[in-house]
Chains A and B, each alone.
Chain A
Amino acid sequence: MNVLALDHVVKRFGDFTAVDDLSFSVPEGGIFGFLGGNGAGKTTSLRMALDIIRPTQGRITVLGRAPGRENDALIGFLPEERGLYRRMGVLDTVIYFGRLKGMSVSAARKASEALIDKLGLGAWAAQTVDRLSKGMSQKVQLATALVNAPRLLILDEPFSGLDPVNQGVLEDLIRDSARGGATVVFSTHVMQHAERLCDRLLLLSRGRKVFEGTLAQGAQVLPRRLSVTSRADPSGLPGVAAVRATGDTKNGWRDWEVDLLAGQDPADLLQACTDGAFPLRRFQTREPSLHDIFLHLVGADQERRS
């Protein structure tokens, strides 16, 4: 079952199209990454899923029904731009959001106390938010998203503004939530987090989908790159698109960066080298990073549109 599905969704603000014919689905369970540069339409898409704004066209399904307040009890949301009531107590803040999501007073209190302890804020529970550091405030905000033990946890740029230690804490919390049965959807433009966390990815560029799938599927889209050490120039080998020498010749051997043609399997090149007695001392395939995939897909898309 899909917990979130967008079907040909368009959102326009006046003359500006923020989301353009976007379709994708998020299956239940696991961590889904929503990637894109600034202005790609990530936040707008998430806001539509949360019924904060309505699409101009298309259909959205969240947990099997249209977006609306009926889903609130099952959704946790951490917005990109975060803030809290400065004069409200830490515990009261988390309870308040739990109550807004339909929890009873006692359930909200119990869950809030447990979460605050888990996040290391137990000693600050009675303090007002304006006495907390920025990192602590962000933990409180995260607690407001998690208080209802959501089935769908939506995090919009959750790592922005966090120091490396707290980024690690948040990554653990996201993994814990996913292990606990929640489906986590998070948007980011920092590829390393997505690479470490996501089971599936959606890449957006200027409101349009440019890729949806796993990291491995993304890697296949990108022409493969090899590092080889050979006596001869490999540019004449079958399936090679381009080569670059990366070092001087030593005892007749030289290092090369080899770009294969799109869809070319490195194993076919290795076989061609063996069959053709092409001397090799090193044959190393380089797995493309998400950063590479992103730059390739988004860059190509932007080049195409411009």
Chain B
Amino acid sequence: MRRAFLIAAREYRQVTSTRGFWVLLLALPLALGLSQIAGRWIKPEATAAYVLADASGRYGPAIQQRLAIDYQRGVLSDLVSYVRRWARGPGTGALWDSGPRGFDDQEVEAFLAAGGLPHALGQIAPRLAPGAPAFHADQPEYLSAADKLAPVDQGPAAFGAAVTPRIGEKVMTSAGPRRLSVAIYIPKAFGPAGPPARVWVRANPDADLVKVLRTELSGALRLEALSASGVPPAEFARIAGVNAPLSITIPLKDHTPTQLLERSILPLAMAYLLLITVMTTGGMMLQGLIEERSNKLLESVLACVTPSELMYGKLLGLGGVGLTTVLAWVACAAAALAIPGEVSDFLRPALQSAANPWMAFALIFYFFTGYAIVSAIYLAIGSLCDSIQDAQAYLVPVVMVIMLPILFMMMSVVRDPASALPHILSWIPLYTPFAMLVRLGGGISWTEAVGTGALLLAFMALEVVAVGRIFQVSLLRTGQPPKLGALSASIIRPGSD
């Protein structure tokens, strides 16, 4: 094995000294870094400014109150999901501890009356699991402009003429400057028989905002109509406040779609990285072996090492390259975690899954078995061919056979986690590492893990023997690559040359 390690060290140095390797190594950190920058600097503005001019003086406060309540409803719903994911111990019976459901206005008002988000976070803090990220409430979709921006009492035309040039500009709000996206004007004589409320928007009107306006203004007009017909306003308010009771149940607390997604991110990413890494470094190794053949230096090497030692050395060297790549990416992910931002928020729950020792073992096991299986195929092709052109004839069908089912499987899993394809591919050793990585997040039974693992290891052993025999008969051969029949014969009956 000493010679195999010497060959591995040389292969490692050769691959790591190529530009292609560094491009591969830096691709992920660069993507993470750019995402972080993009998250900070290119992130679209979540909050827009609006200006509401109510010449009637009757409707403005209700609309603003509705926008505020709807925003707090969203905060409360997000807080419920956060508590389900990260809080431990018995619940407190508070609204945010009561499970996901559609909160009505009264409940949201009760939440605000109890101190709102700051109070809730203070209650939740002692129950948070270690490593739980901080809760960040989304910004409100709309904030009122601090200034009037246009005259209110000169009619809609004057208001529109004054506000139109300001649409799209940044105006001051309670949260700082925001782009003015909506201007609303409610005329003094607004009513069923009067002039309509007017809305100026920057782009297509926001359906939710239009719905809020329509609901609040229609409600106010109905109230006025009912008052005019003799219904007491208090009675109308009571009837309007009746909500249909609604209970939402998510049966398995540990398998919410969010948690399933979080647990699946890392294995899925590993499957993609495995595919990219093995195809890239396998190509480099193939090129190296073809260079050895075409440079006629294999005979010198084979006078010092056996074909098996050469093969093991190359596999070990490429394994080292894969390990370096993964370690570099893990280091980058760890660095990204330390920098607050979109990327760390995304990575933190995903990396939590690797804290489980079995999950960590499975990730490493399937990554390196997958790496070895595909690398060995590349090695066999390299040992058969004198040029990249020759290699292409083998590579194209082989890459198709490897990649297409894996890509189909990944797409099917994203669409439907219970898809049958990964289950089927788990039992085909060539695809087992990829399929198992894809399925890890959703959980795999012990029997299936042991069964497919045993099959995978047996296949690997047979593959190494077969590639060793191909090496034995092919390395010093010249001319056209052997036909499949002759190749099979030399694998089955070594020494049949």
Contact = CB atoms under 8 A, between A and B. Distances in A.
Do A and B come together as binding partners? yes
Interface of A: 13-14, 47, 50, 52-54, 69, 72, 75, 77-79, 81-88, 96-97, 99-101, 141, 144
A77 B476 contact: no
Interface string B264-308: 000000000000000000000000000110111101111111100
Interface string B378-416: 000000000000000000000000000000000000000
A80 to B, nearest CB: 8
B476 A141 contact: no
A87 B14 contact: yes
Given A83-B295, A96-B6, A141-B300, 6 more contacts: A69-B304, A69-B305, A69-B306, A81-B296, A84-B297, A101-B304
B5 to A, nearest CB: 10
Contacts of B297: 82-85
A14 B490 CA distance: 11
Contacts of A52: 299, 302-303, 476
Contacts of A13: 497
Interface string B1-28: 0010011001000100100000000000
Contact of B300 (A77, A86, A88): A77
Contacts of B89: none
B314 to A, nearest CB: 13
* Residue of A69, A79, A84 contacting most chain B CB atoms (<10 Å): A79
B495 interface: yes
B242 to A, nearest CB: 80
* Residue of A53, A82, A100 contacting most chain B CB atoms (<10 Å): A100
Nearest to B475: A52
In this complex, the interface size class of chain B, counting residues with CB under 8 Å from chain A, is 20 to 34
Interface of B: 3, 6-7, 10, 14, 17, 291-292, 294-297, 299-306, 476, 495, 497
Contacts of B305: 69, 100
Contacts of A81: 296, 299
B296 A79 contact: yes
27 contacts: A13-B497, A47-B299, A69-B3, A72-B303, A75-B303, A77-B300, A77-B303, A79-B300, A79-B303, A81-B299, A82-B296, A82-B300, A83-B292, A83-B295, A83-B296, A84-B297, A85-B14, A85-B291, A85-B297, A88-B10, A88-B14, A96-B6, A97-B300, A97-B304, A100-B7, A100-B301, A100-B304
A69 B302 CA distance: 10
A84 B291 CA distance: 10
A101 B294 CA distance: 23
Nearest to B304: A100
Contact of B10 (A53, A75, A78, A96): A96
Contacts of A87: 14, 17
A105 B269 CA distance: 41
Given A69-B306, A100-B301, A101-B304, A54 B495 contact: yes
A81 B477 CA distance: 13
Contacts of A69: 3, 304-306
Contacts of A86: 291, 295
Contacts of B299: 47, 52, 79, 81
Contacts of B495: 54
* Residue of A69, A83, A99 contacting most chain B CB atoms (<10 Å): A83
Nearest to A156: B299
Contacts of B497: 13-14
Contacts of A47: 299, 476
Contacts of B301: 100
Contacts of B292: 83, 85
A77 B304 CA distance: 9
Contacts of B303: 50, 52, 72, 75, 77, 79
Contacts of B300: 77-79, 82-83, 97, 141, 144
A100 B3 contact: yes
Contacts of A85: 10, 14, 291-292, 295, 297
